[in-house]
Amino acid sequence: MMNFDYVRPANVADAIAAASEKGAVYLASGTNLLDLMKGGVSRPSRLVDVTRLPGLDRIERLDDGGLRIGALVRNADLAHDAAFARDYPAIAEALLSGASAQLRNAATVGGNLMQRTRCGYFYDAASACNRRWPGAGCDALEGENRLHAVLGWSEGCIATHPSDFCVPLVALDAVVEIEGRSGRRELPLEALHRLPGDTPDRETALEPGDLIVALRLPAEAQGFAAHARYVKVRERTSYAFAVVSAAAALRIEDGKIREARLALGGVAAKPWRAHAAEQLLAGTAPDAAVYREAARATLAEARPSGDNAFKIELAQRIVVRALTLAAAGTPARIPALPGSPFSSVAGA
């Protein structure tokens, strides 16, 4: 690990000033950053420790019915907050399907959003990677790529964004609150992460010094609590990134889907919102044929980036399964046990 300068500012303004200089990055719990630094993938010259910034570790109910989650709330604390799990069950389910218990105890909400889009070649300093070294090329294109992206990828980069948490968040129109050099601004989470295009090294819409201070869920997000699921398929039962995942949330009234929300994980460099499928589902009666049509629409533009054509079929099946489970109703015990094949949880 390259040596660095460590600072722990007392307030947000000082943090922004300290992080605006070239080579400076924010440090929250460091579960992703320190791992990348140990591998020589990230080489910051200064760490700006934000873990003691006041007021960023709270979950607040807003007067307009929304929810504001401070960027320093730990993933485990959010998932196990009973009111949160009741109101946003698919988000709690996604949080608990991510990483391990130790990592969830440490990892923060803001840090989860800012974890890197990555693959094995990004981690391997001996491999060519445009994301790590702009212009170097991409060894994943001709390498081991069965888990890589099928949507929104470019020749520049085919890696996927590994967050589970972000998938239901983007489906539920989460908004990111940012403090930066020019003051406070907001961004829909869907606009935070960028597709690779010609500049895979530019991962987010954030500018130098920008600090995520909170995540907000609009009041409408609670309206899906009765029919919301997160389904994750991975290569082992626990503690693995998604091969494909899907968050489905439905508002069902009088036997009809009034409104549908759908997003996929593990398929692209960002959490993938399926707007076309949502349109198709709205106004229909919950039915397998409609789910299959929604699944086809979601993957219509998909193309394999390597040995991963199977993910296009798999993603469609996961969409159908997530919609089926969501329509059946949120389980009584939320978060349900993450996708174990031995699980006794009904409907899983």
- The residues of the shown chain that bind another protein, judged by CB under 8 A, are 1, 3-6, 8, 27, 29-31, 34-35, 38-39, 47, 49, 51, 76, 80, 99-103, 105-106, 237-239, 337-338, 340, 342-344
Tell me the two tokens of residue 148. 């890589």
Closer residue to another protein, CB minimum distance, 30 or 223: 30
Q: Spell 152-180 as b/e; 16+ CB within 10 A means b.
A: bbbebbbbbbbbbbbbbbbbbbbbbbbbb
What minimum distance in Å lies between the beta carbon of 31 and another protein?
Answer: 5
Closer residue to another protein, CB minimum distance, 240 or 282: 240
What minimum distance in Å lies between the beta carbon of 291 and another protein?
Answer: 28
What minimum distance in Å lies between the beta carbon of 34 and another protein?
Answer: 5
Closer residue to another protein, CB minimum distance, 58 or 333: 333
What minimum distance in Å lies between the beta carbon of 1 and another protein?
Answer: 5
Closer residue to another protein, CB minimum distance, 46 or 275: 46
Nearest to 257 by CA among 265, 266, 248: 248
Residue pair 240/101 in contact by the 8 Å Cβ criterion:
no
Closer residue to another protein, CB minimum distance, 99 or 260: 99
Which residues, in sequence order, are CB contacts of 75 under 8 Å at separation 6+?
95, 98, 99, 103, 104, 105, 107, 108, 109, 112, 165
What minimum distance in Å lies between the beta carbon of 77 and another protein?
Answer: 9
Closer residue to another protein, CB minimum distance, 103 or 141: 103
Closer residue to another protein, CB minimum distance, 39 or 134: 39
Nearest to 4 by CA among 16, 18, 14, 17: 18
What minimum distance in Å lies between the beta carbon of 102 and another protein?
Answer: 5
Residue pair 290/284 in contact by the 8 Å Cβ criterion:
yes
Closer residue to another protein, CB minimum distance, 31 or 145: 31
Q: Which amino acid is at 291?
A: Y
What minimum distance in Å lies between the beta carbon of 116 and another protein?
Answer: 14
Residue 10 neighbours by CB distance under 10 Å = 10
C-alpha to C-alpha distance for 290 and 311, rounded to whole angstroms: 20
What minimum distance in Å lies between the beta carbon of 113 and another protein?
Answer: 18
Closer residue to another protein, CB minimum distance, 182 or 238: 238
- ∠ CA 111-76-186, nearest 5°, is 40
What minimum distance in Å lies between the beta carbon of 41 and another protein?
Answer: 11
Q: What are phi and psi of 341, to 5 degrees?
A: -65, -20
Residue 137 neighbours by CB distance under 10 Å = 15
